[in-house]
A and B are shown apart, each in its own frame.
Chain A
Amino acid sequence: MEHPGEGTRNGGSFVVSCESVSFSYPGSGRPALSDVSFELRPGEYVGVVGPNGGGKSTLVRLLNGLLKPDSGRVLVSGRDPATEPFEVRKHLGILFQDPENGLVAPFVEDDVAFGLENLGVPRKEMRDRVAGAIRAVGLEGFERREPDTLSGGEKQRVALAGLLAVEPDILVLDEPTSMLDAAGRREVLAYLETLRAEKTVLHVTHHLEELVRSDRILVLNGGELVADKTPERFFSDADLLRENRLVLPVVQRLALEIGLPPARLRTPEMLAEAILAKTESGTRAG
């Protein structure tokens, strides 16, 4: 029998697969995940959405072996995170939503280097990778700052740099912009965009607009995978959105309420223009 990992590692079809995965927390009556199956192909950008308690965070923790499934199987780059967590973590890096938990070192640059130190990367290469990662997230000049003196958004970017320095092929982003302001969010999303095709990305978020250009969107609710759809189908499925407590952003909701097409009006500028066009034509007709 062939090693289950060989095919995937050498350009095979999937870099992540979950087969009928179920998990319950001890002492909890209902499963946090039940019978969840999906795959990620190399270079895919896949969103995960759903209400709090739907199973998103549990799924993330099963992917790097922080939790082990009760039944079913998870494979990441051909390896089982439940038995080879350290191998898996070289390939799959997770950015958690709370950056405070991850920052441990006295200075920003040490924090970014922390993951690399555990991998035994040579000093010179480590320095280059750390500098590159700090540059990538726009924190040049912050190298010798103490993490305690940074804002929540800045800490989140330090955590992201630490993740990028390890150079994993798969990035799992658990609400990566939840602490960022509008400018910081645009910046991080633009950076994530440059990683497309180069990395496989699983992006957990409550901000639906961040997934407009994803390849697929998975919806988790009550521990079950209730949908796996393209963004076009996802955003136009009003029933699916409502049943899963998903709320469209303000601009789209305003558009919908006044009878304009929400999917094409992504910004306040686009909505204002459409309203003007409509009232002008109305004036002329009247």
Chain B
Amino acid sequence: MRLELRDVRYVYAPGTPFEVEALRGVSLVVEPGEVLGIVGGTGSGKSTLVQHMNLLLTPTGGEVLVDGVDATTLKKSELRRRVGLVFQFPESALFAPTVEEDVAFAPRQLGLDEEEVQERVLESLRALEAGELAARSPFALSGGEKRRAAIAGVLAMKPEVLVLDEPTAGLDPATREDLLALILGLRNAGISVVLVSHDLDEVAEVADRVCALQEGRVRAIGTPAEVFYREPAQAPATVRVASLLRESKPEIGAPVRFAETLDALRALQGA
């Protein structure tokens, strides 16, 4: 699926004294099978933006296109199946007595037969290495386990685009790395992933392209190197180190990922 936002605007509480313009004309495309990182400071509009991707919020201006078709003309249930949105702290929405039933809830709503539902539940839990959690109560799980159970619930809808809003917040670094590996696995399986994160270091590791938001507008969009080297003060630690060295050591290039950066630093020292 190719998901396009064209000049999307959104105003909270329009016509009241509390009116806030959260999006001021955002245009971007989520290409099929890519990881698009969305970064930006607190209040830049990241969460508002992603809620437009399945029309949980209806833009007050501009349009959302699915493979070129105006998304408002599609059935909402269909759109929300194809574009799966995982909210910040999704575990707060877990409710069923077991993880298995929680994950089964959404696919069951689709009217699939029970065999297909069970298959999807197992498949989603396995993809998140959470198979052993199936029979447990969601309320007795650790933070990282709950997060995986909640993401499995969205994955069981078999979305074409998976939108993750701050999926690693509150996870320990090792669990975070597992989740980033999962994102790359989904991408390799052809699913587009939109990763909203305030952690630039993790975006640097997995994003194919990056969109930087600032005050409800797109400040920059492009490859991680294009976006991050344009404004190194708002870049991951790898880019900040390399851009400080670039002035006197231009041969360092423009590394972004940890492994690339380490190779570049080693080459510099070896030279």
Q: Which of A65-117 contact B (CB under 8 A)?
A: 97-98, 100-101
CB of A150 closer than 8 Å to a CB of B: yes
A-B contact pairs, 13 of them (CB 8 A): A26-B140, A51-B174, A53-B142, A98-B88, A145-B18, A151-B42, A151-B44, A181-B40, A246-B172, A247-B173, A250-B201, A250-B236, A254-B258
**Contacting B18 at CB < 8 Å: which of A53, A54, A146, A251?**
A146
With CB as the reference atom, state the residue of chain A lying closest to B245.
A272
CB of B175 closer than 8 Å to a CB of A: yes
Taking A144-B18, A153-B42 as given, write out 18 further A-B residue pairs in contact, using a Cβ cutoff of 8 Å, ordered by the A residue number: A25-B139, A52-B171, A57-B143, A97-B89, A144-B17, A149-B12, A149-B13, A149-B18, A149-B20, A151-B46, A151-B47, A152-B47, A175-B169, A182-B234, A247-B177, A251-B237, A258-B262, A282-B269
In the bound complex, CA of A98 to CA of B92 (Å): 9
CB of B261 closer than 8 Å to a CB of A: yes
A253 touches B18 (CB 8 A): no
In the bound complex, CA of A101 to CA of B87 (Å): 14
A253 touches B258 (CB 8 A): yes
Query: Which residues of chain A have a CB within 8 Å of any CB of chain B?
Result: 25-28, 50-54, 57, 97-98, 100-101, 144-146, 148-154, 175, 178-184, 206, 245-247, 249-251, 253-254, 257-258, 268-269, 271-273, 275-276, 278-279, 282
A54 proximity list for chain B (CB < 8 A): 142
Size of B's binding interface in residues, CB under 8 A: 56
**Contacting B269 at CB < 8 Å: which of A51, A247, A275?**
A275
A179-B198, A250-B201 known; A279 and B269 CB under 8 Å? Answer: yes
With CB as the reference atom, state the residue of chain A lying closest to B238.
A250
B269 proximity list for chain A (CB < 8 A): 258, 275, 278-279, 282
**Contacting A98 at CB < 8 Å: which of B40, B89, B176?**
B89
A52 touches B261 (CB 8 A): no
B237 proximity list for chain A (CB < 8 A): 249-251, 254, 268
B262 proximity list for chain A (CB < 8 A): 254, 257-258
A179 touches B174 (CB 8 A): no
A52-B143, A254-B262, A279-B249 known; A153 and B43 CB under 8 Å? Answer: yes
B172 proximity list for chain A (CB < 8 A): 50-52, 206, 245-246
With CB as the reference atom, state the residue of chain B lying closest to A149.
B12
CB of B82 closer than 8 Å to a CB of A: no
CB of B118 closer than 8 Å to a CB of A: no
A278 proximity list for chain B (CB < 8 A): 269
* Shortest beta-carbon distance from B192 to chain A in Å: 23
B144 touches A53 (CB 8 A): yes
**Contacting B92 at CB < 8 Å: which of A100, A152, A269?**
A100
**Contacting B258 at CB < 8 Å: which of A27, A97, A206, A250?**
A250
B145 touches A53 (CB 8 A): yes
B175 touches A183 (CB 8 A): no
Query: Which residues of chain B have a CB within 8 Å of any CB of chain A?
Result: 12-13, 17-18, 20, 22, 40-44, 46-47, 88-89, 92, 136-137, 139-145, 166, 169-177, 198, 200-201, 234, 236-238, 240-241, 244-245, 248-249, 258, 261-262, 265-266, 268-269, 271
With CB as the reference atom, state the residue of chain A lying closest to B39.
A181
A152 touches B174 (CB 8 A): no
A148 proximity list for chain B (CB < 8 A): 12
The 10 closest A-B CB pairs, nearest first, are A53-B142, A52-B144, A153-B42, A247-B173, A272-B244, A268-B240, A245-B174, A250-B237, A151-B43, A25-B140
B142 touches A247 (CB 8 A): no
* Shortest beta-carbon distance from B227 to chain A in Å: 16
B20 proximity list for chain A (CB < 8 A): 145, 149
A254 touches B261 (CB 8 A): yes
A268 touches B244 (CB 8 A): yes
B175 touches A52 (CB 8 A): yes
With CB as the reference atom, state the residue of chain A lying closest to B232.
A268
A254-B261, A254-B262 known; A181 and B42 CB under 8 Å? Answer: yes
A144 proximity list for chain B (CB < 8 A): 17-18
In the bound complex, CA of A150 to CA of B269 (Å): 46
* Shortest beta-carbon distance from B164 to chain A in Å: 14
A97 proximity list for chain B (CB < 8 A): 89, 143, 169-170
B43 touches A150 (CB 8 A): yes
* Shortest beta-carbon distance from A169 to chain B in Å: 26
In the bound complex, CA of A271 to CA of B238 (Å): 10
A250 proximity list for chain B (CB < 8 A): 201, 236-238, 258
**Contacting A100 at CB < 8 Å: which of B89, B171, B175?**
B89
B43 touches A154 (CB 8 A): yes
A28 touches B140 (CB 8 A): yes
A153 proximity list for chain B (CB < 8 A): 42-43, 198
With CB as the reference atom, state the residue of chain B lying closest to A269.
B244
* Shortest beta-carbon distance from A268 to chain B in Å: 4
In the bound complex, CA of A282 to CA of B266 (Å): 13
